[in-house]
Structure 1
Amino acid sequence: MTDETLLQRENSEYWSRRGFLRAATGAAVAAGVSAVAAAQQTKPNAADDVQLSQIHAATEQPEKIPGPFESRDQRTGFAIVGLGRLALGQILPAMAKSKYCKPVALVSGDRAKAQKIAAQYGIPAGSIYDYTTYDQLAKNPAVQVIYIVLPNSMHAEYTIRGAKAGKHILCEKPMATTAHDCQRMIDACNAAGVKLMIAYRSQYEANDVALVKMIRAGRFGKLRQIVATNSQNQGDPSQWRLKKALAGGGCMPDVGVYCLNAARFLSNEEPYEVQASVVQPKDDPRFTEVESSCQFIARFPSGLVALCNSGYDAHKSQFLRVEGVEGWAEMHPAFAYTGIKLQYSKLVEGEEILHAPAIEEKDQFAAEMDHMALCVQQNLRPHTPGEEGLQDQIVTDAIYESAKTGRAVKIPAPKAPTRGPEPSAG
Structure 2
Amino acid sequence: MNPLLQKLHPYPFQKLGKILAEIEPSQKHELIRLSIGEPQHDTPKVILDALSNNLTDIAYYPTTQGSPELRSTIKKWIESRFGMPGIDPDCEILPVNGTREALFALGQVVLSPSNPDSVVVMPNPFYQIYEGAALLSGATPKFLNLGSSNPGWELTQLDKSTWNKTKLLYVCNPGNPTGHVMSLSEWEELFQFSDKYGFIIASDECYSEIYFDEGSPPLGAITAAKSLGRDLTRLIVFSSLSKRSNVPGMRSGFVCGDAAVLKQFLLYRTYHGSAMSPAVQKASIAAWSDEIHVKTNRTLYRDKFNSFVKTLKPHSSIQYPSAGFYVWLKTPIDDVEFAKKLYTKCGVVVLPGSLVAREAHGVNPGENHVRIALVATQKDCDEAAQRMATLMSLGFD
> Which has the larger strand fraction?
1
Alignment TM-score, normalising by the size of structure 1: 0.29
Computing the radius of gyration from Cα coordinates, the structure with the larger value is 1
TM-score, with structure 2 as normaliser: 0.30
Which structure has more relative contact order (CA 8 Å, sep 6+)? It is 2
